[in-house]
Each structure stands twice: as structure tokens, then as C-alpha cells.
């Protein structure tokens, strides 16, 4: 099957598997290559974090990117704070003279 399928279509196929439909039936019924099915499974399978909270691999990847971006911003703010603190100390010592 060489056509592009929507994310909703892929998710619905994975949901069939999660609800107990055998992989053999899914790949033959929908014409999906087994390796493609497993790739979709890794991407769209839901991971239950708590009673009310569920995430997918894409959600986790998005959170990892967000954490990395926030850590980078934090590092920039720390460096800026060090520069401004050093500059303000220099101004204070110069004004005391």
C-alpha cells in the first residue's frame, strides 16, 4: 500500500490492535506491511500514566523537546544574570570612588 494515510486512520488501526484484534488480521485486512504496523504501534500506542492520564510516544517526544528548550532558556537567563550582576557590582565599586 503506497499511499499516504491520515494520522487518524493509523491511530484507528492501532486502536483495533489495542482492543484485541490480532496483528495478522489487521495487516491482511488493511493491506499494511507488518514493519509499517510496528512503526505505527511505537508511535501511536497509548501509555497509561495514571487513572485519567494517557500519553503517546509523540506526546513524550514533544515534552522532551520542550524540556530541552526550557533548559536552554534557563541557561541563557543564568548567564545573563551573571553578566548583569557583575556589571552592577562594577558600577557600585566605581561610584564609591
Contact 14, 44 (CB under 8 A): yes
pLDDT at position 39 is 93
pLDDT at position 78 is 95
Distance CA 64, CA 50 (A): 19
Length of the chain: 97
pLDDT at position 2 is 46
pTM summary value: 0.56
pLDDT at position 81 is 92
Closest CA to 47 of 60, 36, 34: 60
Tens of each residue's pLDDT in the chain, 97 residues: 446 889 999 999 999 999 999 999 999 999 999 999 999 999 888 888 888 998 988 898 999 999 999 999 999 999 999 988 887 777 666 665 5
Amino acid at each position: 500500500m503506497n499511499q499516504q494515510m491520515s494520522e487518524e486512520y493509523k491511530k484507528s488501526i492501532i486502536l483495533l490492535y489495542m482492543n484485541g484484534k490480532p496483528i495478522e488480521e489487521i495487516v491482511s485486512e488493511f493491506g499494511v506491511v507488518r514493519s509499517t504496523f510496528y512503526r505505527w504501534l511505537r508511535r501511536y500506542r497509548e501509555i497509561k500514566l495514571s487513572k485519567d492520564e494517557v500519553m503517546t510516544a509523540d506526546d513524550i517526544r514533544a515534552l522532551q523537546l520542550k524540556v530541552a528548550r526550557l533548559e536552554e532558556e534557563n541557561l541563557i537567563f543564568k548567564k545573563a544574570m551573571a553578566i548583569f550582576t557583575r556589571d552592577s557590582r562594577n558600577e557600585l565599586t566605581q561610584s564609591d570612588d
